[in-house]
């Protein structure tokens, strides 16, 4: 029996297979780069505390007064730069966002000025890096990501007497103990939170 003669016209070329969408061969091309955010080392975790005013300020005037927390605020994660590829927990007990809730009230007396409720939301801050996985490259400098702690660990409510702003005003304090979720922020005596 004579061997079967195969001519070049009998088999489709690799280019024909690819153009028809039914190629089963590996084609060589540029690597697929997948942008992602990763923890840098152990993340050097620290606790940071966001103080959020969750009520309007009530002015006690010449007598006593009371303000009760009623509004909700949703606090999301943040980063020290714009352009984080994505949120990551980094292996810490943190959440992508937190919504305030519950009931808490503050009393004020004559001479207290205005009174408001402050919700202190504990965040874990950790160092991350944007990379292009598959391409082996880092993008930019490392940066700090802050995420609300899970389970309200380290959270607190405080009464502020005098110096209240508007509902939703917020600020970060400078108290930053090392480690993952843990202690509550100390009260701010200068802001009237320690009464």
Q: Where are the domains of the chain?
A: 35-173+187-191
The predicted structure's pLDDT at residue 191: 53
Coil, strand or helix: which one is 66?
Answer: strand
The pLDDT value given to residue 30: 64
pLDDT of residue 51: 93
Name the residue among 121, 99, 118 with its Cα closest to residue 55.
118
| 9/15 Cα distance (integer angstroms) | 14
Q: Hey, what's the torsion of the CAs at 68, 74, 76, 78, to 10 degrees?
A: -50
Mark the ranges of the chain whose per-residue pLDDT is less than 70: 1-31, 69-70, 174, 179-180, 182-195
Using the structure block, give the residue that is written with the tokens 């202190």. Answer: 120
pLDDT of residue 15: 41
Strand partners, 126: 145
Whether 93 and 182 have beta carbons less than 8 Å apart is answered as no
């Amino acid at each position: 029996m004579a061997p079967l003669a195969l001519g070049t016209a009998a088999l489709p070329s690799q280019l024909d297979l690819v153009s028809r969408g039914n190629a089963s061969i590996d084609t060589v091309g540029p690597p697929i780069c997948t942008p992602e955010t990763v923890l840098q080392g152990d993340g050097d975790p620290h606790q940071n505390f966001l103080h959020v005013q969750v009520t309007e300020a009530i002015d006690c005037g010449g007598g006593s007064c009371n303000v009760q927390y009623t509004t909700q605020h949703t606090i999301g994660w943040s980063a020290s730069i714009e352009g984080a590829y994505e949120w990551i927990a980094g292996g810490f007990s943190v959440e992508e966002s937190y919504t305030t809730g519950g009931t808490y009230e503050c009393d004020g007396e004559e001479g207290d000025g205005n009174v408001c409720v402050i919700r202190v939301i504990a965040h874990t801050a950790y160092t991350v890096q944007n990379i292009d996985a598959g391409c082996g490259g880092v993008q930019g400098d490392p940066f700090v990501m802050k995420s609300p702690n899970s389970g309200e660990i380290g959270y607190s409510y405080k009464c502020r007497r005098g110096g209240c702003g508007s509902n939703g005003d917020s600020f970060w304090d400078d108290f930053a103990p090392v480690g993952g979720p843990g202690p509550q922020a100390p009260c701010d005596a200068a802001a009237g939170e320690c009464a």
